[in-house]
Amino acid sequence: MLFLIKTLRALMRNPQGAIGTVLVFLLLLISVFGPFLAPQDPESFNFGSRFAPPSAEFLFGTDWFGRDLFSRILVGARSTVLLAILATFIGTASGALIGIFSGFVGGWVDELIMRTIDAIMAIPGLLLALMILTVLGSSSLNAVIAIGVAFAPGMARISRSTTLAVRELDYVSAARARGESKLWIIFSEILPNMVAPVIVEATIRVAFAIMTLATLSFLGLGAQPPSPEWGLMIADAREHMFRSPWPILAPGISIALVAIAFNLLGDGLRDVLNPHSQE
């Protein structure tokens, strides 16, 4: 807890970190309270005002059914952002654990794991997610799991390479020489010192996760219409692109903002989590 407060305080001193933290915090607020803040029902039709440009009544305009885009974005934030974070978390945690284990144990175990991961990485991430979804069946939660699994190999590689660098350091040797258990070495000596690049990578991946979720929804394998999931909104609005840009712009800009927010946070965290900058 003390560590969290310290990190937050340091983040607020870092310009990128401060902007990122504020944006991400706002996003989380919207994800949680979005449905209560929405001025209109996201699924109610207003046939009188289809394709309306932004106005006082419809802040972001309306879509082809005359649904209020602002309300849809607010309500959709929950499924989009939270699911993306969940997917990233699954991918990061499992990947990092595999990577640390593989890097620390070394030897033929390491080679076996890494060659398997090489094989998995040969399949494009989206294709892999599609394969998993075909087996699990299509639903939002399964899409999250599929994306998590598809992310894991990349994270495993990153965490393995940082583990290999940390493992050679003398404090790990010192721990081995004094006969510490493997669990202590992995979780207390290595993990805290390799977590920085992993967290930075994870924040960047959140944006990817949103895109992949959107893609899966677009292909009809994730969220199902009329759910206001952002990716799905873009996918559906494609047909009406030439009549009004607003149904695409609103969710598109939202996704971009989320990506920027998490990237900034990631940059800030990278600086803050370096132990030498902590005073």
Residue number with CB closer to another protein (55 or 278):
278
Q: Is 189 in the site for another protein (CB under 8 A)?
A: yes
CA-angle at 60, arms to 54 and 62, nearest 5°: 80
Nearest CA to 266 out of 204, 174, 186, 195 is that of: 204
Residue number with CB closer to another protein (195 or 249):
195
Among 1, 2, 5, 178, binds another protein (CB under 8 A): 178
Residue number with CB closer to another protein (174 or 256):
174
Q: How far apart are CA 169 and CA 111, in angstroms?
A: 21
Helices (H), 46-139: 69-77, 83-105, 107-121, 125-136
Site for another protein in 94-133 (CB under 8 A): 107-108, 111-112
* Residue 196 C-beta: closest distance to another protein, Å: 10
Q: Is 183 in the site for another protein (CB under 8 A)?
A: no
Among 174, 241, 253, 256, binds another protein (CB under 8 A): 174
Residue number with CB closer to another protein (36 or 108):
108
String marking each residue 259-278 x if it binds another protein according to CB under 8 A:
----------------xx-x
Nearest CA to 68 out of 234, 250, 210, 258 is that of: 250
Among 169, 241, 256, 257, binds another protein (CB under 8 A): 169
Are 247 and 233 in contact by the 8 Å Cβ rule? The answer is yes
C-alpha dist (Å) from residue 106 to 125, 152, 171, 255: 26, 19, 18, 40
Q: How far is CA 50 from the centre of its chain?
A: 33
Q: How far apart are CA 160 and CA 166, in angstroms?
A: 10
* Residue 187 C-beta: closest distance to another protein, Å: 12
Q: Is 165 in the site for another protein (CB under 8 A)?
A: no
# residues near another protein by CB under 8 A: 23
Query: What angle do helix axes 69-77 and 15-37 make, rounded to 10 degrees?
Result: 110
* Residue 171 C-beta: closest distance to another protein, Å: 4
User: For residue 160, how many other CB atoms are within 10 A of its CB?
Assistant: 26
Structure tokens at 194: 């390799």
List contacts with another protein (CB under 8 A). 107-108, 111-112, 169-171, 173-180, 188-189, 192-193, 275-276, 278-279
